[in-house]
Amino acid sequence: MRQPALYSRSPRDPAAAPDAVLPETPPVPPEAPRHVWHARLPHWQERHWRWLALATLLVLLAQAFWPAVQQRQLTQKDIDAAVLKTLETAVLPSPAARAAAIVAPSVVRVNGFVTDQDGEEKEHGLGTGVVIVDSGIILTNLHVVAGANRIEVTFHDGTQSPAVMTGGQIHNDLAVLQAQKLPDDLKAATMRSTAELQPGDGVVAVGFPFGIGPSVSSGVVSGLKRSFRSPEGRQQIGNLIQFDAAANPGNSGGPLVTLDGEVVGIVTAILNPNEQRTFVGIGFAVPIENAASAVGMHPF
């Protein structure tokens, strides 16, 4: 009869074999340092991060300088397009407005006064003048100040000053005045030769019609080398500029200017088929060459 096999406890159990000798336990290695982030990265990882940092820097530099790289030299076509766009969208002053603004600081109101038999001072003449030398020399019409006991001019900034007549030309109805008190920023008008003036050229008249002003009117040169005889028939003036910018009593002596704001004449007379002394479309101005000779100077 077969004997049952004898079983024993597992030799892994120390209790099963008290006398068994267990294999020696290998020593436990020391614990790894906890601050592993201070450890040096492998060489390939260091190169990887260096390339990544360099790429990031290049991207940032490209973003910073890309607008400058995109700039290109402007062409005439670009400039023309920009100017056209501005003209289409911006409201610009008219040529007459620009001309008036240029000459306005040189335009003055001229008043002549007389004393009547009762000793009261009354206005004797009203007109306009234009400063042609910044020392206070003013051109106006002789009929504005002739016979006046006292002359007063009012400058663009409101400064009022007594003035004296220092010269004149009867045949051109011109008078030269010298103001006694001047504004600090007095500006003389720019004069221009009439040699190239043509019928149809734009002109502007600035003055004090009926004492209202300074007022601005615009028109064109209607003709050159015209002659005019005063309604009383006492005087005839030749070599005049004919123009159609509105002028009325009070405009006398004021400047007739080009659209560049340069004086080409001194407004002298208007043609009146009737006795109303109002403008009907024909005015006359003495060329600035003749006017400047009244001062004894060449205007150019």
**For position 11, what pLDDT does the model report?**
46
More confident residue, 163 or 83: 163
Q: Say if residue 15's pLDDT is above 60.
A: no
Encode pLDDT of 46-56 as tens digits. 566 666 666 67
Q: Say if residue 27's pLDDT is above 90.
A: no
SS (H, E, C) the chain: CCCCCCCCCCCCCCCCCCCCCCCCCCCCCCCCCCCHHHCCCCHHHHHHHHHHHHHHHHHHHHHHHHHHHHCCCCCHHHHHHHHHHHHHHCCCCCHHHHHHHHHHHHEEEEEEEEECCCCCEEEEEEEEEEEEECCCEEEEEHHHHCCCCEEEEECCCCCEEEEEEEEEEHHHCEEEEEECCCCCCCCCCCECCCCCCCCCCEEEEEECHHHCCCEEEEEEEEEEEEEEECCCCCCEEEEEEEECCCCCCCCCCCEEEECCCCEEEEEEEECCCCCCCCCCCCEEEEEHHHHHHCCCCCCC
Q: Say if residue 13's pLDDT is above 50.
A: no
Q: What is the pTM of this model?
A: 0.69
**For position 20, what pLDDT does the model report?**
46
Mean residue pLDDT across the chain: 81
Report residue 8's pLDDT band, with 50, 70 and 90 as the boundaries: very low
Which domains does the chain show, CATH number per domain? 101-179 (2.40.10.10), 202-293 (2.40.10.10)
By annotation, the residues acting in catalysis are: 143, 173, 252
- Rounded to an integer, the average pLDDT of 205-232 is 92
> Which range has highest mean pLDDT (87-101, 162-176, 228-242)?
162-176
Q: Say if residue 103's pLDDT is above 90.
A: yes
Report residue 284's pLDDT band, with 50, 70 and 90 as the boundaries: very high
